[in-house]
Amino acid sequence: CIPQEIVPSSGLNPDIVTILDWNIWHGGTHVGNKGVKRVIELIGATGADLVAMQEAYGSQEEIAKTLGYDLHTASAKDNLAIYSRLPMKKLPAAKPFNSCNALVTLKNNRTIFFNSCWLRYAYRPAYTCCYLDEGMDPKVWEREDAGFSMKDVATNMEKDIDPVLGQNPMPVVIAGDF
């Protein structure tokens, strides 16, 4: 571990918002022996105003409660979560496993569209071994991967983001596991 002090700047300037994006990998169970407690410690150290989380899987309520964030998630055991220290209007998603959306009012009273997403990918049990096998063409994996993720991106844009922006153009933050 390398000691590091993180000094959030958002409290100093109302035009700055700090954002953390993190796939905590199976609810944080792989983050050492402390699991979710370590995830909470690390998020707290950042001082982030907004957190986009993927693979929350049951840890999101404990994280929100411990850190004092407002939480938006499809369910207590779901994949995605948004945590906010700022006023947040929770929005529905066409595919809640792949997209979690909110309108967030910043300290300068501007509103942004905030999205936490998880894009499907071409599952290969061991990513690198596929390339080591001379019979595996990397272009095949690339095509498979693009096919899944591009469909998810299109759904997020067409069903979740575009309808909101069509009514009221605003800045958009898309964070996630790409």
Confidence (pLDDT) at 93: 95
- Cross-sheet strand order for the sheet of 70-72: 19-23, 50-54, 81-84, 70-72
pLDDT value at residue 43: 95
What is the Cα Rg of the chain in Å? 18
Identity of the residue numbered 21: D
User: What local confidence, expressed as pLDDT, does residue 18 receive?
Assistant: 94
Alpha helices in the chain (DSSP H): 36-46, 60-67, 127-132, 138-155, 162-167
User: 10-residue block means of pLDDT along the chain (178 residues)?
Assistant: 58 84 89 84 95 96 97 95 98 95 96 94 59 64 81 93 93 94
* pLDDT of the residue at 79: 95
In the sheet where 88-91 sits, what is the strand order? Answer: 88-91, 99-105, 111-118, 172-177
Tokens standing for residue 160: 């979740």
Contact (Cβ atoms closer than 8 angstroms) between residue 50 and residue 86: yes
Q: What pLDDT is recorded for position 54?
A: 97
Q: What is the pTM of this model?
A: 0.85
Q: Which of 173, 37, 46, 32 is nearest to 116 (CA)?
A: 173
In the prediction, which pLDDT does 141 show?
A: 75
Taking the C-alpha atoms of residue 47 and residue 42, their distance in angstroms, rounded to an integer, is 9
